[in-house]
Amino acid sequence: MNPRIRNIAALVVFGSFAILPLLAQVLGDSFLIVVATRILAFAIAALALDLILGYGGMVSFGHAAYLGLGAYSVAMLSRAGITDLGLHLLGGIAMATPFALITGAISLRTRGVYFIMITLAFAQMAYFFFVSLSAYGGDDGVTLAARSTLLGQPLLENDTTLFYATLALLIAAYLLALRITGSRFGRVLTGTRENPLRMQAIGFSPFPYQLTAYVISGCIASVAGVMLANQTEFVSPALMNWHRSGELIVMVVLGGIGNLIGAVGGAVIALLLEEWLSRMSEHWPLFFGLFLVIVVLASRDGISGLIRRIGGGK
Amino acid sequence: MTNLFLLQLLNGLQFGVLLFLIAAGLTLVFGIMDFVNLAHGVIYMVGAYLVVTFAAMTGSYGLGLLLTLPATLAVGLVLEFLVFRHLYDRSHLDQVLATFGLVMIISEAVEIIWGAAPLTVPIPQILSGSVPLLGPLRYPVFRLAIIAAGLLTALGLWFVISRTRIGMQLRAGASNRAMLSALGIDVRRLFTMIFAFGAMLAGFAGAMVAPILAVDPGMGESVLILAFVVIVIGGIGSIKGAFAGALIVGIVDTVGRIFGPIALKAVMDPAAAAQAGRVLAPMLVYILMAVILALRPAGLFGQRT
Amino acid sequence: MSLLTVQNLRKSYGALKVTDDVSLSVEPGELHAIIGPNGAGKTTLISQLSGQLRSDSGRVIFDGADITEMRMPQRARRGLSRSFQITSILPGFSVLENVSAAVQARSGSSFRFFAPVAAEAGLNTSAIAALTRVGLQDRAAQRAGSLSHGEKRQLELAIALATQPRLLLLDEPLAGTSGSEAERLVQVIASLKGEVTVLLIEHDMDAVFALADRISVLVYGRVIATGAPDAIRADLQVRAAYLGEDA
């Protein structure tokens, strides 16, 4: 995507979110903020996935695991009496890093359909781990006593503050990912997606770069989990269900892969569509599924191709 | 203790045989067509629902089973015609999205047709009851029938793959896809056949377990991912690998859940062992997969890395 | 001491011996060409030397070090760089980025996450120099995938040069180029003589005899002769095997 168009798109997207609470006040619809916070949190995860899927060419079908790790970090640390948001975020990253390192190191020894299946299987392993963790409610999950604190104060109990905190984290994640993709590291990552043989011939071993990207992506996704836990004040293994991982891929692809801001847009589109369909019919997944199948089949070179044709992007 | 172990071993075998029926078609789809199909698990579920309905209609589980086989074959054919065949040349990402969409559609459709509440179908009269094994130990006849049916299917598949012309084509395709068209084989027709036949096997598995399991809309999902684990362990595209992988996963998963905590009690205090065992047991097959992959990235019987 | 010493290298696929006990040496500064009929194992040999293919047996010694067990990236970092017979570029990258990535591989760590790589003057200057050398500097900003075939061959060469190789393995650099494009590439390769040691595989015999200091002839995976161009031209055994004439 043209950098100028991307900057404008980012400004429009983040700017619209920034003034959303005003709109909600005018409309008197406080539910809007709740939905928007959820969208923002998922946008962080979609952005994280785009970093490895769009730039690294790694189709991870297990990113929901990191949502769960972030969310459980809130539950576990809160129970231990640690309530600070910053520490919750660090806790999520501390859990996501070893998980991503180990599962990534194994998954990245393979590619193609193997990689997809193995990331899915490892996420399922994490899912079952928390399902059988009876100390935290097992399958049923656990309700949080309170949201994370900020500067020792219960500031996030206010929905609008939580909304802005999530928006700030999304923007930070976006800027971080933007820097990474434009860096030396990012060039190696993208080059490996384009042509791994060429990159090896000039002296790059793909593995350490891909693994590093995978870990960074997992850590960013865990941030999304921390914010989701705060938004719902509830943590359960359902967050790590493989359907979630699928939805994250849908978000990234709907918005157009490999340009970061598209992933944010995709999260908005996918979740609004879900929200809208679920108000129309209790059987909304049927229509969502139909939508997916039709869009893929209707565009000769896939959804990404369709978006490329419409958006004229890279 | 030995009796309990034997019992769990049989249960594991029965589960493994079931996983094999599901994984057999799927591993060919992955290996020969390089196609990611997430919708295979829902076919297994559809098979279970169909047998419930057909058994109720005909008043006989056996007749229901006989009707389910062609029905799931037809489901496979229709899906291949409507969706899969348009995705062969597409990226894995497109295949993931479209088949993920199918999972949503079919799961939801099943819920609309049959409702969300679990359904059951009675075990047929002649296969009910149990037979004596060792000493006081008895084992349900129906589970033995599942094991026998699965093993017979495996034997049949082995015969087809190693002794027939189509089997030769499948083996050629699994090791080198380009060779298929080079041999002048109608690849499209072969693909259609693999899909439909794989769907029928999955439907067969669903129909076989329906009498001993609650038939509910979520039943396809956990099985799908375990089938992936089976395929990864066995090596993509290998029926032999799927068979070995399925038995390993079935037995490790079943036996591990019971004996994991017991084994842990030997090294830690009972309360902690029970807790650790409960947490670790469901993760066991995934850890096993990780270990096998670390040692053999192409799986036990895989040819390509 | 030779820059590259190849000892008894073998590679078979089943019963087919693609390279069969290949031994040869490349001296510092020379342009050593390998010729031979199609299927003689030339590209396989290059792949074995560059580390893309693992050899069944034999040793490869580069600059005094045994590199037999090293993979391609490690060998490239030591200064053993290759070009591909079938163009292998980063199609979505700009021409400049293609070459700049190669410079980057040889200059410092790439585990740098924040500084914008596009603004690194050091990388870009070296990349432009390599592009100028092959005559592609005007195309720097263009998407590499949109270049003509001949230009892609130039880019392929520029990428290999940008890794600052001490030994350059060129796998049919002229493959598929037109007369004038080939001429231009031959000039560039000729200009490398004395500066970079080159091991060249090429089907264009005019180019080979014009460029090479020494030539080895590979037939059915074996080196059957090595020598100066004139000696090789005269070698009857070569004529028999390669040119199809009776000895």
pLDDT at position B286 over 80: yes
CA–CA distance, B102 with A193 (Å, rounded to integer): 28
Predicted pLDDT of residue A74? 96
CATH, residue B175: 1.10.3470
Mean pLDDT of B198-227: 91
User: Which residue, A52, A188, A54, is CA-closest to C90?
Assistant: A188
CA–CA distance, B99 with C113 (Å, rounded to integer): 36
Domain-embedded: residue B20: yes
Predicted pLDDT of residue A172? 98
Which of A308-312, B24-28, B34-38, B243-247 reaches the highest mean pLDDT? B243-247
Q: Which two tokens stand for residue B158?
A: 């082995």
Predicted pLDDT of residue A60? 95
Environment class of A242 (CB within 10 Å of its CB; exposed 0-12, middle 13-18, buried 19+):
buried
CA–CA distance, C200 with C188 (Å, rounded to integer): 13
Cα C41 to Cα B50, C172, C199, C225, distances in angstroms: 59, 13, 15, 15
**Which band of pLDDT confidence, cut at 50, 70 and 90, is reported for residue B82?**
very high
Chain B residues within an 8 Å CB radius of A293:
83, 98, 101-102, 105
ipTM above 0.95, yes or no: no
Q: Which of A201, A205, A209 sits opposite C50 (nearest CB)?
A: A201
Give how many domains chain B has, as a whole number.
Answer: 1
Environment class of A185 (CB within 10 Å of its CB; exposed 0-12, middle 13-18, buried 19+):
buried
User: Which residue, A144, A143, A31, A32, is CA-closest to A85?
Assistant: A144
Provide the 3-class DSSP secondary structure of residue A2: coil
Look up residue C223 and give its DSSP letter: E
Contact C111 A185 (CB under 8 A): yes
- Closest-CA residue of chain A to B226: A121
Predicted pLDDT of residue C233? 84
Domain-embedded: residue B17: yes
Predicted pLDDT of residue A310? 53
Helix H or strand E segment including B166: helix B165-175
pLDDT at position A312 over 70: no
Mean pLDDT of B216-230: 90
pLDDT at position A311 over 70: no
Q: Sketch the domain layout of chain C as residue ranges.
A: 1-79+165-247, 89-164
Min Cα–Cα distance to chain A from C112, Å: 6
Percent of chain B past pLDDT 70, that is, above it, reads 98
pLDDT at position C237 over 70: no
Range of the domain at B255: 11-120+140-295
CA–CA distance, C122 with C104 (Å, rounded to integer): 9
Mean pLDDT of C217-245: 79
pLDDT at position C208 over 50: yes
Which CB contacts under 8 angstroms, 24+ apart, belong to B109-114? B109/A286, B110/B42, B110/B45, B110/B46, B110/B49, B110/B217, B111/A283, B111/B217, B112/A283, B112/A286, B113/B49, B114/B49, B114/B52, B114/B53, B114/B217
- Closest-CA residue of chain B to A297: B86
**Which band of pLDDT confidence, cut at 50, 70 and 90, is reported for residue B76?**
very high
Min Cα–Cα distance to chain A from B202, Å: 18
User: Which residue, A162, A161, A157, A204, is CA-closest to A184?
Assistant: A204
| pLDDT tens readout for residues B122-134 | 888 888 888 887 7
| pLDDT tens readout for residues A39-85 | 999 999 999 999 999 999 999 999 999 999 999 999 999 999 999 99
Chain A residues within an 8 Å CB radius of B35:
113
Mean pLDDT across chain A: 92
- pTM of the full structure: 0.93
Task: Report the number of secondary-structure helices (H) and strands (E) in chain C.
Answer: 9, 10
Mean pLDDT across chain C: 90
Contact A116 B92 (CB under 8 A): yes
Considering the domain C1-79+165-247, what is its CATH architecture? Answer: 3-Layer(aba) Sandwich (3.40)
pLDDT at position B205 over 80: yes
CA–CA distance, A234 with A68 (Å, rounded to integer): 11
User: Greatest CA separation found in chain B?
Assistant: 65
Contact B103 A289 (CB under 8 A): yes
Which residues 6+ apart lie within 8 Å of A10 measured at CB? A174, A261, A264
Chain-centroid distance, C-alpha C22: 18
CA–CA distance, A240 with A150 (Å, rounded to integer): 26
Mean pLDDT across chain B: 88
- Unique residue bearing structure tokens 């990331």: A119
Min Cα–Cα distance to chain A from B142, Å: 29
Provide the 3-class DSSP secondary structure of residue B15: helix
Contact A246 B100 (CB under 8 A): yes
Contact C106 A203 (CB under 8 A): yes
Domain-embedded: residue B5: no
